[in-house]
């Protein structure tokens, strides 16, 4: 199979992740990326396509020093500088922007307007961001803290084998299962599916109530106690072990 569809998909993904405006955010919410061509038919070809796409994305987007590998720190820096950090929207202007956008594109009204009153409140907007695995605060400093913590936790947990790098096989597992959440094994990665996998990889909505409480406290920018920090580390170890086992990747320790 040719690499052209893979490179095209990676470039499209990078472009969509360059969030600078409210319109960019809505474009991301509605986005889907096709990662293989019509020539891909067998399960092994599909798996190879996921791996090739993930490798291309890692090298184009996350390999900051262009040394051919992506460290956990590099991955976290790109993630932290991207979707969350860009959402420094100010005050009640969120309401006006959301309402105007919804009038132009009714699908947005359906997505954000939780109480179905024909308007989008600031609270509804923030809940909409949460549906996509994003959160934003009017305090830029807190926003940056949340962005950094989310990115770091995501990158650390995605490093299933604990070698300090994000490998193509690890990212491929994330991408493949993000697609599966939408019930399709069709080579199309959708933002909604990625949000679901993001939650799983970061530990949000974990089945363990204490893990869930501590992770959410951490991601909201609060200070953890020493005991809570240990709980967070236990949660991360559990996530890496379970994800790595599901991905068929050997886990250290």
Provide the pLDDT for residue 3.
53
- When pLDDT is cut at 50, 70 and 90, the band that residue 22 belongs to is low
In three-state secondary structure terms, 34 is strand
Describe the crossing of helices 4-16 and 43-57 by its angle, rounded to 10 degrees.
50
Whole-angstrom Cα distance, residue 221 to residue 132? 19
Provide the pLDDT for residue 187.
83
pLDDT tens digit sequence for 73-129: 999 988 877 654 445 544 455 566 667 777 777 777 777 787 888 877 777 776 776
CB 202 within 8 A of CB 157: yes
pLDDT tens digit sequence for 127-173: 776 665 555 555 566 667 777 888 899 999 999 999 999 999 999 99
Phi, psi of 249 (to 5 degrees): -105, 135
CB 14 within 8 A of CB 60: yes
Q: What is the DSSP string of 113-139?
A: -TT-SS---HHHHHHHHHHTT----S-
The H or E element that residue 80 is part of is: none
pLDDT tens digit sequence for 31-84: 888 888 878 888 889 889 999 999 999 999 999 999 999 999 999 988 877 654
Between 251 and 10, the more confident residue is 10
Cα 50 to Cα 44, 111, 198, 200: the distances in Å are 10, 29, 17, 19
Cα 97 to Cα 27, 93, 136: the distances in Å are 14, 6, 15
Provide the pLDDT for residue 21.
64
Provide the pLDDT for residue 93.
59
Give the pLDDT mean for 228-235. 96
pTM passes above 0.85: no
């Amino acid at each position: 199979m040719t690499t052209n569809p893979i490179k095209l998909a990676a470039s499209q993904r990078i472009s969509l992740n360059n969030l600078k405006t409210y319109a960019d955010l809505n474009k991301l919410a509605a986005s889907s990326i096709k990662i293989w061509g019509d020539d891909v038919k067998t399960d092994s070809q599909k798996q190879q396509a996921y791996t090739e796409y993930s490798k291309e994305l890692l090298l184009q987007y996350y390999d900051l020093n262009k040394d051919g590998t992506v460290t956990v720190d590099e991955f976290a820096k790109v993630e932290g500088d991207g979707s969350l950090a860009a959402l420094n929207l100010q005050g009640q202007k969120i309401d006006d922007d959301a309402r105007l956008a919804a009038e132009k594109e009714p699908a947005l009204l359906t997505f954000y307007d939780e109480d179905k009153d024909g308007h989008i409140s600031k609270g509804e907007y923030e809940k909409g961001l949460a549906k996509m695995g994003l959160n934003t605060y009017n305090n830029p400093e807190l926003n940056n803290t949340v962005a950094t913590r989310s990115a770091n936790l995501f990158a650390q947990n995605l490093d299933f084998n604990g070698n300090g790098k994000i490998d193509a096989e690890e990212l491929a597992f994330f991408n493949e299962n993000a697609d599966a959440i939408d019930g399709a094994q069709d080579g199309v990665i959708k933002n909604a599916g990625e949000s679901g996998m993001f939650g799983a990889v970061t530990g949000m909505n974990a089945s363990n109530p204490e893990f869930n409480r501590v992770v959410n406290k951490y991601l909201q920018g609060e200070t953890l106690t020493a005991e809570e920090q240990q709980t967070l580390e236990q949660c991360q170890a559990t996530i890496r072990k379970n994800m790595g086992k599901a991905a068929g990747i050997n886990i250290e320790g």
